[in-house]
Structures are given as C-alpha cells and as structure tokens.
C-alpha cells in the first residue's frame, strides 16, 4: 500500500460545523428573499457562486446584493449573513492538524469567498486560540483565489501542479459527495465525514 505523505482538507463541514438554515435565515432577514435557492452547503448559485469562484470581488458582490434586495446593505450586514454558516469551529480539530503537520504536508482546498476569509478566517477571530486559518496549513487553495469551485476538477489540477503532490500519496477529506467522487477519479485516497463529526480516529486509522 502506498504511504500517505500529504493530507488535503476541506474547510466547511470538516473543520467548521455548518448551519445552512441559519445562513438562509440571516440573508432573508436582510432582504434576500430567494436565499434558499441561492445558498447551498457545497456550491452556491448566482452571485453567491460568482464571488466564490472569483468572477466578482467582495465589493462587487456587496453592490450586486444591494441591487438584488433594493436595500442599502452594509458590509457588516452581508458579512453577518455569510457567517451564519458558521455554527462552531472546534479547536481540537485544528490542534490535531498541527500534530499532523509534524509528519505530513497538510493543505486546505475550500470553496469559500473573500468575505468569510478576509473578514474572519484570516484574522485572529478565527478560533478561540487567536490564530488565523493560515497558521494551521502548509498552503491553502481557495476557490475565489484559484478561480474555480469544487467539484470542477480544474481546482484539483491546479493544486496538484502547484504543490507537486501525488494523488496516490494523498488523503483527501471532504464532506461533499461530488467532491469526493472527483477526488477518487484523480487517484486520491478519500474520506467523507459528516458535518460536525469528530473524524480524528477515522483519519488515524487511514494513516496507519
């Protein structure tokens, strides 16, 4: 059996316990009446997808959302909507990753956007330990920076080329079924946790 040398983690549903209903509710409260159609736990729709695949910037998204709702929404209103997805960010999972980095290359591959990243995840407010998300990974590959969202295989291709990792030597951990399926076709060893799961023992078992 090939020795695993790298681990690639998703963010939402893996490190972050997601609350899709709360996000929908918050966006509806600020006037996004079709929030249920636009918001998805795995891949967004409309302008929500555009900001996650880097087609539009955070400022452009905010302006388009103001036009969509017909309201003069503040950045904080919109940020609060996005952060509605965040139910919890358990510190024990991030501490576990720091231990993994002693033996493996550890990467993040996430569908996300600049409002969640720049406004929260890449600040010291990210966790109770007061460290930004970048402190926990060797390198991060985010959809809005790469310019494509999972499950499009191009984001996997970009990561493989940029990092030099070999999929057969890499464990890919993602809560999205379609993302896992694409990862398998590219030769990754895969694990699909449930949202909120403590997956440490399962990962340990795969690494042995």
Between the alpha carbon of residue 202 and those of residues 3, 110, 112, 163, the distances in Å are 17, 21, 25, 25
Query: What residues pair up with 7 in beta bridges, in sequence order?
Result: 106, 171
By annotation, the residues acting in catalysis are: 10
Going by their DSSP bridges, the two strands 170-173 and 189-191 should be labelled as parallel
Query: Measured between alpha carbons, how far is residue 62 from residues 51, 58, 77, 173 in Å?
Result: 10, 6, 10, 31
Distances (CA, A) of 44 to 85, 129, 191: 12, 30, 23
């Amino acid at each position: 059996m090939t020795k695993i040398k790298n681990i690639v983690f998703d963010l939402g549903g893996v490190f972050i316990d997601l609350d899709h209903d709360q996000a929908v509710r918050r966006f509806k409260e600020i006037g996004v009446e079709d929030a249920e159609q636009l918001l998805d736990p795995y891949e967004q729709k409309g302008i929500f997808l555009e900001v996650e695949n880097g087609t539009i910037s955070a400022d452009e998204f905010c302006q388009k959302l103001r036009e969509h709702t017909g309201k003069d929404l503040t950045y904080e209103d919109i940020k609060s909507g996005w952060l509605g997805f965040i139910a919890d960010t358990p510190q024990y999972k991030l501490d576990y990753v720091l231990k993994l980095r002693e033996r493996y290359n550890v990467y993040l591959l996430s569908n996300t956007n600049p409002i969640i990243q720049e406004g929260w995840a890449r600040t010291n407010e990210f966790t109770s330990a007061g460290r930004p998300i970048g402190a926990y990974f060797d390198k991060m590959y985010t959809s809005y920076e790469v310019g494509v969202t999972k499950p499009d295989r191009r984001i996997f291709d970009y990561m493989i080329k940029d990092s030099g990792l070999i999929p057969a030597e890499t464990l890919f951990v993602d809560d999205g079924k379609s993302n896992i399926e694409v990862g398998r076709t590219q030769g990754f060893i895969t694990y699909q946790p449930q949202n909120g799961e403590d997956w440490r023992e399962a990962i340990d078992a795969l690494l042995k």
